[in-house]
Amino acid sequence: MIKLHPRLQLDPDAASERRWPVTGHPLTLKVTAAWHALALVGCATAPEMWPWWLAGTAVNHATVTIAGLWPRSTLLGPNWTCLPAIPRNANAIALTLDDGPDPVVTPQVLDLLDAYQVRATFFLIGERARRYPTLTREIVARGHSVENHSQKHVHTFSVTGMGALSREINAAQRTLTELTGERPAFFRAPAGLRNVLLEPVLQKFDLRLAAWTRRGFDTRERDPEVVAQRLLRDLAPRDILLLHDGDAATTDDGQPVLLSVLPRVIDAAKKQGLHFVTLREAF
pLDDT tens digits for range 162-208: 999 999 999 999 999 999 999 999 999 999 999 999 999 999 999 99
- Give the span between the Cα atoms of 198 and 207, in whole angstroms: 11
Q: Using CA atoms, how far apart are residues 205 and 4, in angstroms rounded to an integer? A: 18
Q: What pLDDT is recorded for position 79?
A: 95
In the chain, which residue ranges form alpha helices assigned H by DSSP?
27-45, 50-69, 105-116, 126-131, 133-141, 162-180, 198-204, 224-232, 257-271, 279-282
Look at residue 9 and tell me whether its pLDDT is greater than 70. Answer: no
**Is pLDDT at 4 greater than 50 in this prediction?**
no
Beta bridge partners of 146: 122
pLDDT per residue as tens digits for the range 226-278: 999 999 999 999 999 999 999 999 998 999 999 999 999 999 999 999 999 99
Residue range 91-106: mean pLDDT, rounded: 98
Q: What's the confidence (pLDDT) of residue 49? A: 79
User: Does the pLDDT at position 16 exceed 70?
Assistant: no
Instruction: Determine which helix (DSSP H) or strand (DSSP E) holds 187, and give its type and residue range.
Output: strand 186-187
Under 8 Å between Cβ of 185 and 202 = no
pLDDT beyond 70 at 21? yes
Say whether the peptide bond before residue 101 is cis (omega within 30 degrees of 0).
Answer: yes
Number of residues written out for the chain:
283
**Across all residues in the chain, what is the average pLDDT?**
88
| Pairwise pLDDT comparison (252 vs 136), residue with the higher score | 136
The pLDDT assigned to 38 comes to 74
Phi-psi region of 249 (alpha: psi -120 to 50; beta: other; left: phi over 0): beta
Rounded to whole angstroms, the Cα distance separating 57 from 229 reads 42
pLDDT > 90 fraction of the chain, expressed in percent and rounded: 70
The residues facing 82 across adjacent strands are: 239
What is the structure's pLDDT at 32?
76
Count CA within 13 A, CB hemisphere, residue 154. 13
Give 3-state DSSP helix, strand, coil % of the chain, rounded to 5.
50, 15, 40
For residue 6, name the pLDDT band (cuts at 50, 70, 90): very low
Q: Is the pLDDT of residue 65 over 90?
A: no
Q: How far apart are the first and last CA of the chain?
A: 29
Angle in degrees, CA 97, 80, 93, rounded to 5: 55
* Least reliable range by pLDDT among 152-161, 211-220, 273-282: 152-161
Amino acid 17: pLDDT: 78
How crowded is residue 201: how many other Cβ atoms within 10 Å of its Cβ? 22
Contact 261, 231 (CB under 8 A): yes
